[in-house]
Amino acid sequence: MLIHAKRIIRTGWNNFVRSGFTSIASILIMTITLFVITSLIFVQASLNQSLSDIKNKVDVTVYFIPGAEEVAIQKVEDSLNKLPEVKNITYTSAADALSNFKDKHAGDYLTLQALDELSSNPLGASLNIKANEPSQYESISKYFESDNALSKGALTIIDKIDYNQNKLIIDRLTSIINGARSLGFAVSLVLIIISIIITYNTIRLIIYMSRDEISVMKLVGAGHKYVQGPFIVSGILVGICSAFLSILLFIPISIWLGNHMTDFIGLNLYQYYKSNFLQLFVIMLGSGVLLGSISSFFAINRFLRK
């Protein structure tokens, strides 16, 4: 078996080298395929980063009436912290709310003057709630409508909950996240199918160039596995070469994107490429070997059935 394996590998290498421009064409075609697949990974990473940034800006804020006791507010916060949907809660006191309002309107003299004339703080405390997922904000909002959710009298100190104002943004964000995941999967599937078809037809050219050699092998009694082996090896070699070429191409591209597009997409793709280099290389190499071997297998099988 070892001797047969060596012969198959050697013959596959010879076929790969002898094919010359056909092998180069196969490598270029598969390199383009791997390049697009890897680009899709970069796009998904950038999209996930952008969506993560947007998700971090979405929240639900509970505003309390001015003068609400901190003990009562603390009970509401403790009750909310028990919800599995809640990631964290930030408390803003009435004094802090007033200070933030003054800082925000530092240039509005009339507004500040009107505040100074008031005898008491017109603003109330608030709780800023972050959920684990955008889709969970609705259940958090509905929690306040539950009869036994909060202690008696707790709802009377709540002025308003801004979930309804943010609901449209939250719903759109959830749709974008789900749509992006589905689109990424669909595009990947289509690319894989296209890659197999293109590589399959390219490998057929290599097989066609070796048709006389295959006929001789069949005449002398060579089995299908022995005939298939060298062409599968050739397909694997095409995949390996394409993976190495793709990984080299992405080095200058990721450097350029990291230097010029980081502020726009919110992610340094060069740093992402470096930190995920091994994972990306395994994906490229695995995809190239898999596509090359599968395409070669089906191509030689079709030829042998004739």
- Report the pLDDT value the prediction gives residue 170, as an integer from 0 to 100: 63
The pLDDT of residue 16 is above 70: yes
* pLDDT score at 38: 82
pLDDT recorded at residue 40: 78
148's CB contacts (< 8 A; 6+ apart) are none
Per-residue pLDDT band for 269 (boundaries 50, 70, 90) equals: confident
This prediction's pTM: 0.63
Share of the chain residues as helix, strand and coil, in percent rounded to the nearest 5: 75, 5, 15
Q: Which CATH number fits domain 58-165: 3.20.20.70, 3.40.50.920, 3.40.309.10, 3.30.70.3040?
A: 3.30.70.3040
CATH 3.30.70.3040 domain span(s) along the chain:
58-165
**Average per-residue pLDDT for the chain:** 78
- pLDDT over 80 (residue 224): no
pLDDT the model gives residue 166: 63
Quick: pLDDT tens for 122-167.
888 888 888 887 778 878 877 876 655 555 556 678 888 877 656 6
Confidence of residue 254 (pLDDT cuts 50, 70, 90): confident
Q: DSSP of 24-90, one letter per residue?
A: HHHHHHHHHHHHHHHHHHHHHHHHHHHHHHHHHH--EEEEEPTT--HHHHHHHHHHHHT-TTEEEEE
What are the tokens at 210?
Answer: 């070796």
Give the phi and the psi of residue 44 in degrees, each rounded to 5: -65, -40
The whole-number average pLDDT for the span 59-73 is 84
pLDDT at site 164: 61
| % of the chain with per-residue pLDDT over 70 | 81
